[in-house]
Structure 1
């Protein structure tokens, strides 16, 4: 019966054209465009990182500046912006054009495009400025992609494509764009975690940056994954490792503010 209900919900959302992400805070109900069952399932399934998303949202305070690095279609971007209720801003970074297009559509769908509620950038954050190839799964809504050289060999499908994407060094880009000092940062970059952290060193060391949620993908990384935690500790965070999910895990990094 459960599978029948899930199938019905997926088909209903696909025909309607959008799915609603239901959270414990009922005032937050972001909508997401869907055109495939994969897109619909990504939003409506209960095991889709929901616990981690709820944890991230609990850390948000009025007026916060949030960075969503590896924003994809906006799973963190949209509820974060709704939680801020116009008192702060979310800056979302997504280098893949196909997902950036969907991200912008979802921002419009939730009426978050006015002012600086959500500011999307079609770039990836790294430790230097460059254009490189990104391998993505060629399925609408899959959300799978990486600039990591060994990413493709770990995929279970041959339905992948390579696309050029723009990467920028984090701290200088934030300064050039006039982006305020971030308070919260979410990172999901499929193996490029260290590059992001290195490029944002100044911003992350700042006393006002108090929480980072970083997904770590050991099998895609070219350096030891424990270096992610070591770097966060060096930046002044205390780190909690969440339970592993498949082949990856999450680091919840907090600063003790006095």
Structure 2
């Protein structure tokens, strides 16, 4: 009862803070402790300031990233996830925050600089399967929804950006040896996930990183893809898929469970979901085993 009342009070305080911004973008310290330039009119800014944004992913990051690690945030948007990654790896680690669109990239750089997150390096590029240029449809009032194939946003506009394979981006920024020491990759690129995977075969083969990837069937379909296209690409490198389930108990302590998952085209039933991909017996798998993350039965078996 007391904890429930406390949560309601906290919720009300954050609501008042949002109202006090009067719809004006400004710097704010968010519940995670970071300073971020928040637009309260955006869904992203609203949910970050309320403390609700991707709690499952940020908890996962605290469990599997350690000091000195190297990780990739592909589709970094305004940098919230990259800030969590940077805090986890400390100054001895390396985070590449990869974001192609101008509006989001400017916010990303500002947020990283404001928090003096020296372990995070921002790269303005799309990650794909080839080098060249790419037209991305930008949603100006919700830049995190910018997409290559989904052009339904009212008032959206096209932006030509650089595109390069993630393997190439890593070599350019961190050196060739980094291809074999990447611990974790987050991919959230609003429909372009299959092509991102096509552009990182060396990373997937040499590092076998844990992969957290968004799977959004309706958006994928606009590019001619299905969730199975993501699943098959990861399976080809020995990965097995899990669906993460995040929970807080009565006193607010978080936990995360991984449910073995396969046949995404059938089981997702057209619904968006995040997936965790891991290779059996890899360093990433052993790291998950040593963490507080629980794996349901029907668990990982050798392919």
Distance 1:12 1:108, change over 3 A: farther
Q: Secondary structure at 1:72's aligned position in 2?
A: coil
Q: Which residue matches 1:86?
A: 91
Query: How many residue pairs align between the two structures?
Result: 242
Q: Which residue matches 2:295?
A: none
Asked if 1:257 corresponds to 2:282, the answer is yes
Greater shift after overlay, 171-180 or 229-238? Answer: 171-180
Flag structure 2 segments of 5+ consecutive residues without an equivalent.
1-7, 246-267, 284-303
Q: Alpha-carbon deviations, 1:41-93, whole Å to 9, x = none?
A: 13123432112221133110221101000000011101110111212110010
Asked if 1:19 corresponds to 2:28, the answer is yes
Q: 1:229 aligns with which of 223, 231, 245?
A: 231
Q: Is the 8 A contact 2:134 2:161 kept in 1?
A: yes
Alignment RMSD: 2.4
Q: Secondary structure at 1:57's aligned position in 2?
A: helix
Q: Is the 8 A contact 1:71 1:77 kept in 2?
A: yes
Q: Secondary structure at 1:219's aligned position in 2?
A: helix
Q: Is the 8 A contact 1:19 1:40 kept in 2?
A: no
1:60-209 paired onto structure 2 within 5 Å: 60-113=65-118, 117-139=119-141, 141-148=142-149, 151-153=150-152, 155=153, 158-179=154-175, 180-181=178-179, 182-206=182-206, 208-209=207-208
Higher radius of gyration, 1 or 2 = 2
How does the TM-score come out when normalised to structure 1? 0.84
State the alpha-carbon separation in 2 of the partners of residues 176 and 112 from structure 1: 20
Determine which structure has the larger helix proportion and give its number.
Answer: 2
Give the Å deviation of 1:12: 4.0
State the alpha-carbon separation in 1 of the partners of residues 14 and 66 from structure 2: 34
Distance 1:47 1:16, change over 3 A: closer
Q: Is the 8 A contact 2:103 2:143 kept in 1?
A: no
Distance 1:172 1:123, change over 3 A: same
Q: Is the 8 A contact 2:24 2:40 kept in 1?
A: no
Q: Which residue matches 2:3?
A: none
